[in-house]
Amino acid sequence: MTEMIKGSIVALVTPFHEDGSVNFEKLKELVEWHIANQTDGILVLGTTGESSTMTHEEDDSVVQCVIETVGKRVPVIVGAGSNNTNTMLKKSIDYEKMGADQLLLISPYYNKTNEEGMIQHFKTVADAVHIPIILYNIPGRTGCSISEHAVAVLSQHPNIKGIKEASGNLSYAMNISKYLHDDFVMYSGNDDIIVPMMSLGSSGVISVLANVLPNETHEMVHAYLDGDAKKALAIQHQYLDLIHALFVEVNPIPVKEAMNQMGMQIGGYRLPLTQMSEAHKELMKQRLEEAGLL
């Protein structure tokens, strides 16, 4: 599955048992639910998957579970990023061997780097694996952005096939959109601007919203891809208040709360993440009711 996805890719949550261990049975249920509800691709170990608080062994087990459960029915993207390039390289090679279809690689958080270091960070992995790589630009999390020049250079690498643009900066997205081509695509990393990002050439979204509205997120993206921008915008507007509620606290706290309110029983969080405030829980309940999900 080397062809780049057009559509809605869910940034899948990781369900936990009450004792904090990974709930693999629930993980399998979520995968089946997404496939049944038109999710076009599944991202595992993304920001929403809380991999930053999981061990490498848990990461491997979650990836293996998802790949085996999916059984090539939809593409599986694996977050293999690290601020240690050698760690990212090892994880990427391992996940390719495990059967990942594509990799999502984040810019080096905390230690950051200069521009050439940023290019080499991604190029090191791109030269070593044989599956498509998606760059991940999310400066609000990492403290650094992938410069427009770095995107221009990396977009020409035969194994770097896309970028998840999650800065929320439409000016930046506009500037890098000129580097999109048949072998380098862009995905919105922000659910509140899926349609605006598609107007700049985005092929879809890597979505938190899809955890609660997989069909509707798929429909929004494909309406635009099919030429019905008006319908896509109407769906974006319809769920905009819910989208805002899903980010009222740091992701994935709100989306896991929403899923639990919907009766999906996916469990809690690992510290430093913890429960939402009572006021925000009530807001979430209201937004879910308005969206017809309760």
What is the set of active-site residues?
Answer: 136, 164
Cα distances (Å, whole numbers) of residue 30 to 108, 160, 214: 30, 29, 11
Q: Three-class SS of residue 148?
A: helix
Joined together, the tokens standing for residue 60 give 């491997």
By CB atoms closer than 10 A (0-12, 13-18, 19+), residue 140 is exposed
Q: Which residues contact 75 (CB under 8 A, 6 or more apart)?
A: 1, 5, 40, 41, 42, 101, 102
Give the amino acid at 45.
Answer: L
At residue 89, φ and ψ (nearest 5 deg) are -65, -45
Largest CA distance in the chain: 50
Strands 102-106, 76-79: pairing is parallel
> Rounded distance, CA 114 to CA 25, Å?
43
